[in-house]
Amino acid sequence: MANPLSRSQPRRGPRVRYPNDDSDTDTDDLQDFTLNPRPSRAARRVQTYRESSDDDNDDISDSSSDETDSHSTSAHADVGPRRSTRSYVQVQKQSRPPKRRPAPTPSAKRQHSLKANRRRTNLPSKRNGSQMDAGGLFQTYKRQKPLPDNKGRTNVKCVNMSSASDNTRIPPWPQLPYHVLVSIMQYAAYPLYGPTSRAQPSINWLCETGLLCRSFHEACTAALLYSPPLYPSWRAHRLIGLLEQAHESLTTDYRKKIRFLDIEVKQLLVKKSGISLDRLISMTPLLQGLRLYSNYDDLTTVIWAQPAAKKFKWSYPTELLERLETDHLFMRSFEWNGRFPTTLDVLNMAVEAHSRPSFRRLRELTFLNLSLPEKAREENITTVGTSLAGVLASVPELQSLSFRNCGIVDEMTMPLLPPGLLHLELWNCPNLTSDALEAYLSRGGSSLRVLSLDGNQSMDLGFIANLQALCPRLQHLEVDMLYIDPTSFRDREPLYDELLPNGPPTWPTDLVSISIENMRQLPQEDAEEFLTSLVDSAAHLPQLRRLNIKAILKNASWRDRAKFRQRWLPKLENVFLNTEEPSNVASKFLIKAPTTSQRQSSRIANGHLKKISLGDSTDESDASTPATIQGRCDVVNLVISDQRPAETQYHENDFLDSEPSDDGEWRQGNSQQLATDYAW
Query: How do residues 10-31 score in pLDDT, each as one tens digit?
Result: 555 555 554 444 444 444 443 4
Confidence of residue 304 (pLDDT cuts 50, 70, 90): low
Alpha helices in 577-595 (DSSP H): 585-590
Q: What is the rounded distance in angstroms from the CA atom of residue 539 to the CA atom of residue 519?
A: 25
* 3-state secondary structure at position 491: coil
Region 46-67 average pLDDT:
43
499 closest CA partner among 478, 467, 469, 524? 524
Q: What is the rounded distance in angstroms from the CA atom of residue 124 to the CA atom of residue 139?
A: 16
* 3-state secondary structure at position 251: coil
226 closest CA partner among 181, 171, 195? 181
Query: How do residues 251-264 score in pLDDT, each as one tens digit?
Result: 889 999 999 999 99
> H or E stretch including 516?
strand 513-522
Region 87-97 average pLDDT:
39
Mean of the per-residue pLDDT values of the chain: 75
* 3-state secondary structure at position 329: coil
Whole-number percent of the chain with pLDDT over 90: 49
Burial letters 117-155, b for 16+ CB under 10 A, else e: eeeeebeeeeebebbbbbbbbbbbbeeeeeeeebeeeee
Determine the pLDDT at residue 484: 80
Lowest mean pLDDT among 31-40, 180-189, 293-302, 343-352: 31-40
Q: What is the rounded distance in angstroms from the CA atom of residue 406 to the CA atom of residue 413?
A: 11
Whether residue 268 contacts residue 274, with contact meaning beta carbons closer than 8 Å, is answered with: yes
Determine the pLDDT at residue 287: 97
Is pLDDT of 147 > 80?
no
Directed axis angle between helix 56-63 and helix 106-121, to 10°? 80
Q: What is the rounded distance in angstroms from the CA atom of residue 33 to the CA atom of residue 13?
A: 12
Is pLDDT of 247 > 90?
no
Is pLDDT of 187 > 90?
yes
Lowest mean pLDDT among 174-178, 196-200, 223-227, 496-500: 196-200
Is pLDDT of 127 > 80?
no
Determine the pLDDT at residue 227: 95
Residue 20: C-alpha distances to residues 23, 28, 37 (Å): 9, 16, 15
Beta strands per DSSP E along 296-350: 333-337
Whether residue 26 contacts residue 3, with contact meaning beta carbons closer than 8 Å, is answered with: no
Beta strands 476-480 and 513-522: pairing type?
Answer: parallel
Lowest mean pLDDT among 205-214, 335-344, 478-487: 478-487
Determine the pLDDT at residue 61: 42
Determine the pLDDT at residue 556: 87
Is pLDDT of 589 > 90?
no
Region 393-412 average pLDDT:
94
Determine the pLDDT at residue 444: 92
Higher pLDDT, 431 or 676: 431
Beta strands per DSSP E along 302-457: 333-337, 364-368, 400-404, 423-427, 450-454
| Positive or negative torsion for Cα 8, 13, 14, 15 | negative
Q: What is the rounded distance in angstroms from the CA atom of residue 16 to the CA atom of residue 483?
A: 75
Whether residue 194 contacts residue 180, with contact meaning beta carbons closer than 8 Å, is answered with: no
* Stretch(es) of the chain classified as CATH 3.80.10: 409-580+627-649
Q: What is the rounded distance in angstroms from the CA atom of residue 521 to the CA atom of residue 526?
A: 10
Determine the pLDDT at residue 163: 45
Contacts (Cβ under 8 Å, ≥6 apart) of 111: 58, 61
* Architecture field, domain 409-580+627-649: Alpha-Beta Horseshoe (3.80)
